[in-house]
């Protein structure tokens, strides 16, 4: 395991990291490797190892790691969240994302209920999830659409306020209810297995994306339908798929955010989601480096272990340097933005872009060091490379996120 440069870690924090690594190595990674070999339909079929994994994770309380203690959660601090998230990403980026996003509708509803005192929301949405130890309640983040992806996250830009650009999923008020109609795209993580969706939608089209809202929607309601699961190059252990809303009726207390507060919410979510992605893919980058290091220590070429060749040593050091730099930026941005309001979102974006690019580069370098074996499905690095490729697109394409960050830097950086 890597050297922890933070000498102020408490014994409890060190134990948490070690506990999470054991679960990652003994439960998550073996399941992820098995699921990677299945078709998208087989991954979610009854009897799939995916469901055993969910039951084990929920049984350990990992689905509540961001919840307050009074709701049975560990209420982990920003540093503890990063320690746990990196180990999960080391085990499997796809599973890390799946287990991370599953809490989204329920934690969002819990925060809203705590502010408003809405007991019905707690009883109907939050507490069934809090009490779940079998993986019966699974959440998803329904934001991406067939015609909208990274642009949904560009808070603060001119395009975000363009009345010609709105979510396809829209909500209209009908008495004490909201009526939801529209489609979310095939890239919704947990989309075809989720029981609840944290759904981003348009309430006031005249304001463009700025007129958005957020609703928690149980996916067993009349009018909800789903596509078959998406078949993909990488992150095959992460279920994704479309969700359709055809005049779905929800009570008014399921609408958690309306246009007045939506811009602030999307900024906070962008900061949190990008920080989370940076943590996960720091873990993947580390995993790829460790695979390469282990291989070069046991593979002989030219009469000696290839780690003794200088060109190999140079590449290993560059990989090591990139991983450590990614962790440093990811951890700093995560700790700052999870404890600061408003967040410095440009730093979360920088961490996401840096860590995902690092994951892809280090996984590619690992394949190069392993030669033909690196392309073989018998070696784990082949999966890591495929999984890393998606990261530069998901949760916002890196290039588009860079534009959003640049706007913040131009407008807010003081010289």
Question: Is pLDDT at 1 greater than 80 in this prediction?
Answer: no
Burial status of residue 304 (CB atoms within 10 A of its CB: 0-12, 13-18, 19 or more): exposed
270-293, pLDDT tens digit by residue? 999 999 999 999 999 999 999 999
164-209, pLDDT tens digit by residue? 999 999 999 999 999 999 999 999 999 999 999 999 999 999 999 9
Under CATH, to which class is 263-412 assigned?
A: mainly alpha
pTM of the model: 0.96
Q: What DSSP state is assigned to residue 134?
A: S
In which band, very low, low, confident or very high, does the pLDDT at 75 lie, cut at 50, 70 and 90? Answer: confident
Say if strands 139-142 and 177-184 run parallel, antiparallel, or are unpaired: unpaired
137-262 shares its CATH topology with 263-412: no
Q: What is the average per-residue pLDDT within 151-159? A: 81
Question: Is pLDDT at 156 greater than 80 in this prediction?
Answer: no
Question: Is pLDDT at 159 greater than 90 in this prediction?
Answer: no
Q: Rounded to whole angstroms, how far apart are CA atoms 245 and 249? A: 9
Could you tell me the fold of the domain covering 11-114?
Answer: Butyryl-Coa Dehydrogenase, subunit A; domain 1 (1.10.540)
In which band, very low, low, confident or very high, does the pLDDT at 66 lie, cut at 50, 70 and 90? Answer: confident
Domain map (residue ranges) of the chain: 11-114, 137-262, 263-412
Q: What is the average per-residue pLDDT within 84-98? A: 98
Q: Which residue has the higher pLDDT, 170 or 150?
A: 170
In which band, very low, low, confident or very high, does the pLDDT at 135 lie, cut at 50, 70 and 90? Answer: very high
Q: Rounded to whole angstroms, how far apart are CA atoms 354 and 79? A: 19
For residue 86, the surrounding DSSP H or E stretch is helix 78-91
Radius of gyration of the CA atoms of the chain, in A? 21
CA 385, chain centre distance (Å): 18
In which band, very low, low, confident or very high, does the pLDDT at 158 lie, cut at 50, 70 and 90? Answer: confident
Could you tell me the fold of the domain covering 137-262?
Answer: Butyryl-CoA Dehydrogenase, subunit A; domain 2 (2.40.110)
Q: Rounded to whole angstroms, how far apart are CA atoms 328 and 342? A: 22
């Amino acid at each position: 395991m890597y050297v922890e440069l933070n000498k102020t870690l408490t014994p409890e924090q060190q134990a948490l990291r070690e506990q999470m690594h054991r679960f990652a190595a003994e439960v998550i990674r073996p399941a992820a490797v098995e699921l990677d070999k299945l078709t998208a339909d087989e991954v979610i079929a009854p009897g799939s190892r995916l469901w055993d994994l969910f039951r084990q994770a929920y049984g350990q309380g990992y689905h509540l790691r961001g919840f307050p203690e009074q709701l049975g959660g560990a209420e982990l601090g920003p540093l503890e969240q990063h320690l746990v998230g990196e180990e999960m990403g080391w085990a499997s980026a796809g599973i890390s994302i799946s287990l991370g996003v599953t809490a989204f509708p329920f934690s969002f509803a819990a925060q809203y209920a705590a502010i408003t005192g809405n007991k019905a929301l707690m009883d109907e949405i939050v507490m069934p999830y809090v009490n779940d130890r079998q993986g019966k309640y699974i959440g998803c983040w329904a934001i991406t659409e067939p015609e909208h992806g990274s642009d949904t996250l560009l808070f603060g830009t001119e395009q975000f306020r363009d009345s010609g650009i709105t979510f396809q999923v829209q909500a209209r008020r009908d008495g004490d209810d909201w009526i939801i109609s529209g489609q979310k795209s095939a890239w919704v993580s947990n989309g075809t297995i989720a029981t609840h969706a944290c759904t981003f939608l348009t309430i006031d089209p005249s304001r463009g994306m700025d007129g958005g809202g957020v609703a928690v929607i149980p996916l067993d309601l009349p009018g909800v339908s789903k596509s078959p699961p998406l078949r993909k190059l990488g992150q095959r252990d992460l279920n994704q798929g479309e969700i359709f809303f055809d005049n779905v009726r929800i009570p008014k207390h399921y609408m958690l955010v309306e246009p007045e507060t939506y811009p602030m919410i999307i900024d906070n979510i962008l900061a949190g989601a990008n920080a989370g992605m940076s943590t996960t893919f720091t873990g993947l980058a580390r995993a790829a480096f460790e695979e390469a290091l282990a291989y070069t220590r046991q593979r002989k070429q030219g009469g000696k272990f290839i780690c003794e060749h200088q060109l190999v040593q140079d590449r290993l050091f560059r990989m090591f340097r990139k991983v450590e730099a990614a962790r440093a930026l990811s951890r700093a941005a995560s700790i700052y933005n999870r404890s600061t309001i408003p967040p410095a979102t440009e730093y979360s974006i920088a961490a996401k872009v840096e860590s995902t690019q690092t994951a892809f580069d280090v996984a590619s370098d690992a394949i190069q060091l392993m030669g033909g074996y690196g392309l073989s499905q018998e070696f784990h690095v082949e999966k890591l490379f495929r999984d890393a490729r998606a990261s530069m697109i998901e949760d916002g394409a890196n290039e588009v996120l860079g534009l959003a960050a640049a706007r913040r830097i131009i407008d807010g950086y003081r010289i």
